[in-house]
Structures are given as C-alpha cells and as structure tokens.
Structure 1
C-alpha cells in the first residue's frame, strides 16, 4: 500500500472524517531536505472530523501526528495539516 493510502486508511479509521484529502506534494520538493526518489515524503492533509470539536489547532495536529507516528518516523519528511470540525 502506498504512503498516501496508508495515511487515508489510518485517519479514516481513527477519526471518521466527513472530509479527507491527502495530497502527495513531494514533486514540489525535489532536491530539498528529506526528499527521496519515488516521492511520498511531503504531504498536505485536509481533514474535517467531529473528533476535532472543542480542540485547539495544536491539539488537532497532535492527534494527527499520533495517528501517523510510524509514517512520520520513517518515510514522511513533512506533513502540512488543516484540521477542522464540521462546525467550522
């Protein structure tokens, strides 16, 4: 399974998002720190979930980082997160 698909599966299982978009943005970072041949190193995630209700931006990002800890420790170099609750 690709890193993109792994991210989608893990976030969907943990947060049951109303909206989830995962974009592999690695091609824009060719030659920069953390980039690897084959991509799947730099990602943008937009997620909307009830699980974020009442949480600060930092708490939301920590939740996502905890869910994706294995990927962040291995292949993923950079992760941009836009996390919102449905009310936002």
Structure 2
C-alpha cells in the first residue's frame, strides 16, 4: 500500500478535500498479486469550481507525476465539486472489468502483461 498511501497523502495536501477515495484496482487486471499499478481516485473538492474536466485531470497529473512516471499504469479519475457530487447522488461510477490484451490473448496472459 506504499503507492496508494503516497497518492492519498499528495492529493490531501494539494487539494481542499471534502471526499477522497483511492482504490487499488490492480487485482482486476493481469498483474501479479499485491501489485499497485491500477488505481481509481474519487476526489470531491471546491478547488474544481469553474474548471473543465481536462483542467481537473491535469491538476491531478501534476501532483502525481512521480507515481505516474513509475509503477502506476492506469489511473481512473472521478473529480467533482461538492455541488456536482451532491447532484450525482454521492457515488462515483464503478470501474469496468479489464478487457485488455492479457484477458483475450493467452500468450500475453502467460507473460502477466496488461
């Protein structure tokens, strides 16, 4: 949980967090057990007021540049203002099951690749 903890700490420090959920979804992908490669971030912050989705994502990429340049392979982001979160019913969408190459290609699956 080293990378997950780093993500949580960096986002908590960088944003006025109302809600922060960081989920390690690596187990849903073709990676070794206990991997920290695929994450889902749900972040509710008034810092996102007046920002389009792309600007919100860029701000996360900037804060997590080290993790994204390293072991993190995928980062699903659900970023809301408090009003958007309330209007959405206070729930982020579920992540779909992995349909990457390793799920369809036995040769890729044997390599543990995704």
**Structure 1 and Structure 2 fold alike (TM over 0.5):** yes
- Deviation >2 Å, runs of 4+: 35-38
1:3 corresponding residue in structure 2: 3
Distance in 1 between residues matched to 2:43 and 2:32, nearest whole Å: 26
Q: Which has the higher strand share?
A: 1
Report the count of equivalent residues. 84
Distance in 2 between residues matched to 1:54 and 1:36, nearest whole Å: 40
Q: Indicate the structure whose relative CO is greater, using CA pairs within 8 Å and at least 6 residues apart.
A: 1
TM-score, structure 1 normalization: 0.90
2:65 corresponding residue in structure 1: 69
Give the alignment partner of residue 53 of structure 2, picking from 54, 57, 60.
57
Q: Secondary structure at the match of 1:87?
A: helix
Structure 2 residue runs without a partner (length 5+) = 85-114
Q: Which has the higher helix share?
A: 2
Distance in 2 between residues matched to 1:83 and 1:7, nearest whole Å: 15
